[in-house]
Amino acid sequence: MNKNLIKNTVLIVIPLLIIGAGVSLVNIGVITTEPPKTDSGIINTTLIIDYGSNHIDSYNIKIANATVFSVLMQASREYNFTVGAKYYDQYQSHYVYSIDSVTEGENNKFWQYYLNGNYGTVGADLQPVKNNDYIEWKFQEPKI
């Protein structure tokens, strides 16, 4: 075979292979001009406050890095109501004793939370909340 023919064939084939490889990379998404999608971490939750006397308030809250307690506190800032809470070092958690001036002990009732219908078993600021969860704070007699 003629050496010039081989040389010319190699000079033509190699660039075609390189161009073909580049086109393939673009087609399979290795090379892209779109920026990567990021998650803002903002979730949607529903907060229901049941005062135990046929008075129930409901709020839709958008928040990042949420716990049951942080959702309550965000709602109190957005909708202008007070929350009384005390931090206990031994539990590393807050205890909610008052919401919107309704304070524990009245008629032997206390504030208790439920997440998606389940009674809270840890401190409110230790319980994480996910997107579309619903939180209920109920002023009621203690659960035993």
Please check whether residues 21 and 78 belong to one and the same domain: no
Q: Quick check: 53 and 141 in contact, CB under 8 A?
A: no
CB proximity list for 42: less than 8 A, separation 6 or greater: 62, 63, 64
Closest CA to 131 of 36, 40, 38: 40
pLDDT at 53: 84
Please check whether residues 31 and 53 belong to one and the same domain: no
CATH for 88: 2.170.130.30
> Which residue range(s) make up the domain with 78?
42-140
Q: Quick check: 141 and 119 in contact, CB under 8 A?
A: no
| Tally of structural domains, the chain | 2
Per-residue confidence of the chain (144 residues) as pLDDT tens digits? Answer: 555 545 554 445 444 444 444 443 333 444 444 444 445 689 999 999 999 888 999 999 999 999 999 999 999 999 999 999 999 999 999 999 999 999 998 788 999 999 999 999 999 999 999 999 999 999 998 876
Please check whether residues 53 and 30 belong to one and the same domain: no
**R_g over Cα of the chain:** 30
pLDDT at 110: 95
pLDDT at 71: 98
Please check whether residues 78 and 123 belong to one and the same domain: yes
pTM of the entire predicted model: 0.71
What does the block give as tokens for 128? 């994480």
Output the CA torsion 37→39→40→45 (10° steps).
140
